[in-house]
Structure 1
Amino acid sequence: MIDWLMTLAAWQQALVGTAFTYGMTALGAGLVFLFKTIKKDILNLMLGFASGVMIAASFWSLLQPAIEQAEENNGLPSWLVVSIGFALGGIFLYIADHLLPHVHFGPNKEQEGLPTHLRRTILLVFSITLHNIPEGLAVGVAFGAAASAVNPTAAVMGALSVAIGIGIQNFPEGAAVSIPLRQEGMSRTKAFLYGQASGLVEPIAGVLGALLVTKVTVILPYALAFAAGAMIYVVIEELIPEAQQTTSSKNHYAVFGTMTGFIVMMILDVALG
């Protein structure tokens, strides 16, 4: 697998990696054909797991390499470069969050973003799609960074660990889209189609990210930190609050899910990267 990946261009590697993450989203969405409902505790566990994966990936797969890349450039201080990129990632998601029309799951959720007459189901999918942009970008930038690495094989292994980690957390994320749509009365087939559609943005973001950092290598540390900032924004703004919407005695589902996701991503990154 690694030997074959090494023969591909960075954007092609990113396409392969994000095709896997999309496939995991579709696979998770396919659970709607087996289940009609999803317990809140299980959903909280899934959201927590996704949060843990994204937090761990943000540091080991993105921020740490960004610091190393910034130190090699001998320009601005590495801490300043990474801070700028990280902040811009959060600002980008903040702006997108306030512009893209979307609504979160739950009976009392109000529409966010610009006013629109789109159906609620479309807005629900937009909500998850917004989360998937930084995930696809993270995979793409990681493969793009491998193209200029001193040890490209090890770097590709690290990028592959990012794709695997994001893919693993996309599985429950796909189910978290399709099954609630089924609960709201949508047919299983339509709920599946909407659920998998939320992951289509990842290959687009991944390829664009890889092309950008390979064509303009000076922005690589900024791009890595940017993806990390965007992912942390999603975790704090959306995933953790959603997972905590339950009685205080049940909050441990989200907590243990987060810790498990963090450990899984940490193991993947350290073992493969």
Structure 2
Amino acid sequence: MIHLKIHFKAEFGLALYVSGNSKYLGLWNPKQAIRMNWTENDIWEVEVAYHEMEYKYFISQYESVQTILWESGPNRVTTNHAIDVWNYRKVCFQCLNPSNYEVYISGSPEPMGQFQKRIRMKNKQGISQYVCHLDITDSQIQYQYHFLTKSEFSSPVYKLNLEQEQSYYKDALLVYQDGLAKVKQMIFQLNKNICYGYVPQTKEDYRTLKKFNLKTIVEFCNTQEKSLLEQQHQKDDCLHMIVNLYHFKQENFTQRLLQLIQVFIQKYKFIYICNNSLSHLRKYLQVYEKLSKCQ
């Protein structure tokens, strides 16, 4: 038997029903749906014969099905069952991780730390995974992956639309990302003039940038041993400039950084800014974005 349970506080005279794609659940005909039984703590429950099934809950009058309010989101599926919550789904975040890096996830919902903390994902057979319950009606859910290798890497911030997620991993909606395996080849877009990422090292890296029309590369470094403009060279039709931020005076660092980036944009229109520490690079670009909006 499958023991279905859902937590829901219904108004007097209403009841919870379950309907699904099998004969046991009425073949999606609300008139053939099963009315669930109320128990303490507003847990509604019912047992059905064990079988593979898709199902959803709805609210209607206790005595007979008349006015119907379906829960939101895609159909549920079940394997090993737990207590459901109205309009919530168990969501499984997975990302490809063949090198078994330490991978963390953060996000806007409370179960994902509200971007205030990072949650370590479980690694298994080259895949990192995290499972939580999320409100299917929240259209503003955002999330981000964080890799810890010799340095720290964070993915772009993704927006999640649970209404569009239709595949399942076991009994959880699957959100799968397979583009994070080669972290040093990822390219991020800041605005219409700037893309950013890691420093290109190989011919293949430069070819990848050229595919995105990123032929002007500005590499930031910060070291006492190098001059302000250490070098400028051509690689595979790409102009690669290395700018040493060490020589920027601390008291006007942010203003000089803004002016420098604006000069590059005026001259080249579309640039790729890079650094081997994305955490440092993001700090520079956040300064640029903040100052640009103020002007």
Bucket of the pairwise TM-score, normalised by the shorter protein: under 0.3
Q: Report the TM-score when normalising by structure 1.
A: 0.19
Q: Report the TM-score when normalising by structure 2.
A: 0.18
- Work out which structure has the larger RCO, using CA pairs closer than 8 Å and 6 or more positions apart in sequence: 1
- Choose between structure 1 and 2: higher helix proportion: 1
